[in-house]
């Protein structure tokens, strides 16, 4: 296995002092509710009380051999088409990123197409899509290692470039099926509780999806994180898992998006438990398994808007809350200074 970056757990020895500082701000103690708790967590993650401004959304894209079984209501060719839409700046994620002032980069983790070079595109392709997990392992152990290492390196490079906050999204037709299998084994949880409608299955499509995933699950009894990732794949999911670890190793807050990005975060945390300290869960998805996922991760999301698009859209919508929380310690006056006229 490729050696993953070292993640240092958050040092909580200063937590009480940070809470005291927030209580001493020009507001009633606790008046900003969960934002106060988030401000403390951000300061602990980054090692200081400062405003976090520069944010980058990394959208990881990949295709799934499992889609041959009809687990999605869309053909795999839509992945490359949506990558082109993202690169043209016309996807939902692009619009939301402009609205909240975030950069967007698309990462080709395993799209089943040859993508032309583009300034917004990082070519990190491990292979053109995964194998069909209903019939065989989706990936080899070496391919999983490559995806993890490349994801970690991309996140660390963003941190070295001066990015304060990293958000991860995904684009891959069939990826909710792979995410459901990963959740099933790594939570663990009954498969039926992990499988949802994805991008829009009707009842018949949902039944077909569940039956296919039952066949895939019956093929292997893998429960170890690396084995689960190899069996069920999702190069974009695995690369996000590596990116979560890479960002955490650089002490950057990670804004986790919805169901599929949360599956990647779950895998990352099972591999490197300290990575959990750097994850902020942006929203509760409408996808059925996401509540199971959040419970497995002990996560309280910031928003609940019935989203189920992916692309990092939920993470982008939560970004202003994170930026605001980061400003609480560094920009709000102390109550003592207000009362004594030292503004």
What is the set of active-site residues? 311
d(CA 45, CA 52): 12
In 112-224, alpha helices (H): 141-160, 175-186, 191-194, 203-218
At which residue do the structure tokens 């699950």 appear? 217
Looking at residue 284, the DSSP 8-state letter turns out to be: -
Residue 284 in contact with residue 256, Cβ under 8 Å?
no
Other beta carbons less than 10 A from residue 270's beta carbon: 22
Give the list of residues 6+ apart from residue 343 with CB closer than 8 angstroms, or none: 333, 337
Q: What tokens does 202 get?
A: 């009707």
Helices (H) and strands (E) in the chain, counts: 14, 6
Q: Is the peptide bond before 188 cis (omega within 30 degrees of 0)?
A: yes
Give the list of residues 6+ apart from residue 228 with CB closer than 8 angstroms, or none: 181, 182, 185, 186, 222, 267
DSSP 57-125: EEEEEE--GGGGGT-SSS-THHHHHHHHHHHTT-SHHHHHHHHHT-EEEEEEEE-SS-PPP-TTEEE--
d(CA 184, CA 217): 9
């Amino acid at each position: 296995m490729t050696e993953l970056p070292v993640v240092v757990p958050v040092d909580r020895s200063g937590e009480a002092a940070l809470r005291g500082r927030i209580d001493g701000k020009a507001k009633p103690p606790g008046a900003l509710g969960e934002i106060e708790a988030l401000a403390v967590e951000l300061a602990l993650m980054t090692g200081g009380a400062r405003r976090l401004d520069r944010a980058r959304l990394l959208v990881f894209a990949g295709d799934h051999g499992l889609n041959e079984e009809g687990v999605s209501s869309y053909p795999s060719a839509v992945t490359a088409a949506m990558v082109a839409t993202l690169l043209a700046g016309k996807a939902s994620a692009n619009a939301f990123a402009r609205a909240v002032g975030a950069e967007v980069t698309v990462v080709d983790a395993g799209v089943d197409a040859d993508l032309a070079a583009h300034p917004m595109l990082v070519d990190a392709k491990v292979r053109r899509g995964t194998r069909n997990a209903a019939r065989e392992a989706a990936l080899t152990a070496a391919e999983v290692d490559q995806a993890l290492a490349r994801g970690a390196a991309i996140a660390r490079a963003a941190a070295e470039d001066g990015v304060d906050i990293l958000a991860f999204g995904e684009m891959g037709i069939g990826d909710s099926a792979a995410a459901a299998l990963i959740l099933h084994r790594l939570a663990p949880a009954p498969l039926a509780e992990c499988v949802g409608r994805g991008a829009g299955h009707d009842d018949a499509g949902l039944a077909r999806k569940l039956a296919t995933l039952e066949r895939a699950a019956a093929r292997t009894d893998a429960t170890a994180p690396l084995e689960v990732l190899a069996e069920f794949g999702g190069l974009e999911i695995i690369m996000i898992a590596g990116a979560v670890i890479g960002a955490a190793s650089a002490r950057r807050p990670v804004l986790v998006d919805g169901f599929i990005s949360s599956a990647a975060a779950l895998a990352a945390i099972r591999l490197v438990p300290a990575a959990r300290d750097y994850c902020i869960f942006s929203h509760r998805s409408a996808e059925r398994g996401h509540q199971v996922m959040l419970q497995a991760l002990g996560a309280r999301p910031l928003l609940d808007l019935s989203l189920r698009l992916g692309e990092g859209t939920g993470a982008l919508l939560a970004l202003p809350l994170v930026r605001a929380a980061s400003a609480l310690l560094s920009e709000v006056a102390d109550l003592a200074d207000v009362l004594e006229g030292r503004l």
